[in-house]
């Protein structure tokens, strides 16, 4: 096949694939809740197909197939010390994928709590919810020294801080979750964070806005519409009763704090939540 023919073939393939992605966006609305798509990425029955860019050109191979595993993260915020945190994880460990050491716990106990929980549960991923905003490369390095697998940085941070955190985490094979708490224009910022290489973009309604009756579900829709590479996460008052609203949108990570930790029976709450999440 001559060079011109090859080029024409590539262009035709690109057009076809673009049309497929473009139309799937509309199809998914009408046909099935199981199909979620945007022009670059399509999710069908927990399998993600991603349009691959090489040097900004769509190439011959258009799809990369990868299974999406919806993960459950337990946020530990209100325990009184490290041993209480470890007891709680022990109770629910079979139902969770990630343990979050929440900001209040880290503020009181320091990064030592991250290290002790990781040592006690080496098979779980451990997230340090430090909500970093400055000197992020240094801070991420420190958290990695204390065995954190994922570190949180605020979405309202300067771009330089986001990039510094992402770069430092990558050096160590760790991940950055960007917390969108207090971000006003979620859609625009999510697009930027996606381009800057954030591993997770997490929509989050904090305690102060939860108290005003707000929830993070609408923000997740906005973020899912624009992200191409980053994984998505959701946090903020998610409980058994509201879990469905999160699961339906197929984020990569669902974060539950009080919905498990403050339940009458945390183990049973974690079991039921995990069951619904695994069913997708």
Ligand X SMILES: O=C(CO)[C@H](O)[C@H](O)COP(=O)(O)O
Q: Point out which residues bind ligand X (CB under 6 A).
A: 75, 77, 102-103, 129, 206-207, 235-238, 255-259
We find the least distance from the C-beta atom of residue 20 to ligand X, in angstroms, to be: 38
Looking at beta carbons only, is 26 or 207 nearer to ligand X? 207
Q: Which residue reads 């995990």 in tokens?
A: 274
Q: Alpha-carbon distance 181 to 50, whole Å?
A: 28
Looking at beta carbons only, is 138 or 207 nearer to ligand X? 207
Q: Alpha-carbon distance 125 to 144, whole Å?
A: 12
We find the least distance from the C-beta atom of residue 89 to ligand X, in angstroms, to be: 14
We find the least distance from the C-beta atom of residue 278 to ligand X, in angstroms, to be: 19
Q: Alpha-carbon distance 106 to 83, whole Å?
A: 13
Looking at beta carbons only, is 43 or 183 nearer to ligand X? 183
Residue 120 is given by DSSP the state H
Backbone angles phi, psi at 56, to 5 degrees: 70, 5
We find the least distance from the C-beta atom of residue 141 to ligand X, in angstroms, to be: 22
Q: Do the Cβ atoms of 76 and 100 come closer than 8 Å?
A: yes
> Is 274 strand, coil or helix?
helix
Q: Nearest residue to ligand X, using CB?
A: 257
Q: Do the Cβ atoms of 34 and 214 come closer than 8 Å?
A: no
Looking at beta carbons only, is 141 or 206 nearer to ligand X? 206
We find the least distance from the C-beta atom of residue 2 to ligand X, in angstroms, to be: 59
Rg (the chain; Cα; Å): 20
Looking at beta carbons only, is 180 or 256 nearer to ligand X? 256
């Amino acid at each position: 096949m001559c060079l011109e023919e090859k080029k024409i073939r590539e262009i035709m393939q690109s057009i076809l694939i673009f049309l497929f992605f473009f139309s799937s966006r509309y199809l998914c609305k009408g046909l099935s809740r199981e199909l979620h798509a945007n022009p670059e990425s399509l999710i069908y029955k927990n399998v993600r197909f991603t349009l691959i860019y090489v040097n900004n050109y769509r190439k011959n191979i258009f799809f990369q197939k990868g299974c999406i595993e919806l993960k459950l993260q337990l946020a530990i915020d209100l325990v009184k010390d490290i041993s209480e945190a470890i007891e709680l994880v022990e109770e629910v460990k079979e139902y969770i994928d990630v343990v979050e050491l929440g900001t209040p716990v880290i503020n009181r106990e320091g990064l030592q709590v991250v290290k002790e929980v990781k040592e006690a549960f080496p098979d779980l991923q451990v997230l340090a919810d430090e909500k970093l905003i400055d000197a992020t490369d240094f801070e991420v390095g420190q958290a990695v020294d204390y065995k954190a697998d994922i570190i949180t940085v605020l979405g309202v941070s300067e771009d330089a801080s986001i990039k510094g955190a992402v770069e430092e985490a990558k050096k160590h094979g760790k991940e950055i979750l960007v917390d969108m708490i207090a971000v006003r224009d979620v859609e625009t910022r999510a697009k930027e964070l996606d381009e800057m290489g954030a591993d997770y973009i997490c929509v989050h309604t904090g305690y102060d806005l939860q108290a005003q009756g707000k929830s993070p579900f609408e923000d997740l829709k906005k973020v899912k519409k624009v992200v191409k590479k980053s994984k998505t996460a959701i946090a903020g008052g998610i409980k058994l009763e509201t879990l469905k609203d999160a699961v339906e949108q197929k984020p990569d990570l669902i974060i539950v704090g009080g919905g498990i930790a403050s339940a009458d029976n945390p183990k049973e709450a974690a079991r039921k939540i995990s069951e619904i999440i695994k069913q997708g």
